[in-house]
Amino acid sequence: MKIIQLTDTHLMPPGIAVNGVDPEAQLREAVSDIVARHGDADLLVITGDLCNFGDPEAYELLREILAPVPFAVRLMLGNHDRRPKFVAVFPDQPRDSNGYVQSSIDTAFGRLLFLDSHEEGVIGGIYGPDRMAWLDAALNDAGAQPVTVFIHHPPVFDGIAHFSKIGLHDDGAVLVRLAAHAPGVRHIIFGHIHIPLSGTSAEGIAFSSGQACSHRFITDVAARAPWWTGGNPCYRVLFLDDHGFRAFGAEVGQSPTEQAQPCDGP
């Protein structure tokens, strides 16, 4: 199974930059590249902060930009989003019985879980009892399937000073639930921190983030206020198959220097 991950697209109404970067131009280039190179993918997931201020016009723009994607799309909320505005433009995106934008998909390689950690007015993530009840049921219903988890806010320790007070405010509860899932957790995939990070939790669960398609920061994990910067549009290509899980970073706008030679010798 091939999944494309975009994250932190931070769309604004057309023509408005965010932290010095034009989010619309970034996303248009990324989607164009995805459609050209990965038309065989099974799913596109955007792991939150779809829009910078949750403007209806920005969600409309997102819908227009994603229209050429020829496979299923699953959209998730981040702290910058606004759930009612999102739902108004994307009524077909699945929600749970409480209205949270969270859902699951069963695949040949386990259950995919999409968790909603957005809470209006909170920069960090919230995952309270009502959402947790949904997660408990989704894990229980997964039966013998391993799970692969998508969420905007990292449910793990990320070690980045700027995000130390705006992570998932759950005291590790989500991670405890996942660690108790006997068939295993293939991977936890998140956004929010805007830079690539990979690691393993103390419980032995592997995790990684995608790099933001819009602005990111010059990597300095100790800085409380790092410098925002730009960069080429980017996304990740995720594979779930009999080998397990793999994630490849893809950057748009690279130009080739020299043709590589086949290395198929002994």
**Which positions touch Fe ion (CB under 5 A)?**
8, 49
Residue appearing with tokens 């229209």: 67
**Minimum Å distance from CB 146 to Fe ion?**
28
Question: Which is nearer to Fe ion, 80 or 111 (by Cβ)?
Answer: 80
The answer to whether residues 189 and 227 touch, using CB atoms and an 8 Å cutoff, is no
Residue type, 165: K
**Rounded CA gap, 45 and 48, in Å?**
9
Task: Give whole-number Cα distances, 200 to 87, 165, 180, in Å.
Answer: 34, 21, 16
With respect to Fe ion, which residue has the nearer C-beta, 96 or 119?
119
Dihedral angle of Cα 220, 223, 229, 234, to the nearest 10 degrees: 50
Residue with smaller CB distance to Fe ion, 8 or 33? 8
Residue (8 or 119) nearer to Fe ion, CB? 8
- Please state the separation of Cα 170 from the chain's center in Å: 19
| Residue 212: DSSP 8-state | P
- Nearest residue to Fe ion, using CB? 49
Nearest to Fe ion of 7, 102 (CB atom): 7
Taking CA atoms, 234 is separated from 4, 189, 216, in Å, by 11, 16, 11
Q: Of 47 and 104, which CB lies nearer to Fe ion in the complex structure?
A: 47
Minimum distance from residue 238 beta carbon to Fe ion (Å): 19
Cα radius of gyration rounded to whole Å, the chain:
18
Residue closest to 187 by CA, chosen among 200, 206, 211:
206
3-state secondary structure of 2: strand
Neighbours of 171 (CB within 10 A): 8
Closest approach of Fe ion to the CB of residue 80, in Å: 6
Based on CB atoms, which residue is closest to Fe ion, 8 or 116?
8
- Torsional class of 8: left (φ above 0), alpha (ψ -120 to 50), beta (otherwise): left
* Least distance in angstroms from the C-beta of 245 to Fe ion: 23
CB of 7 to Fe ion, least distance (A): 8
- Minimal distance, residue 191 CB to Fe ion, in Å: 6
Q: Using CA atoms, how far apart are residues 198 and 238, in angstroms rounded to an integer?
A: 14
Measured from the CB of residue 28, what is the shortest distance to Fe ion in angstroms? 18
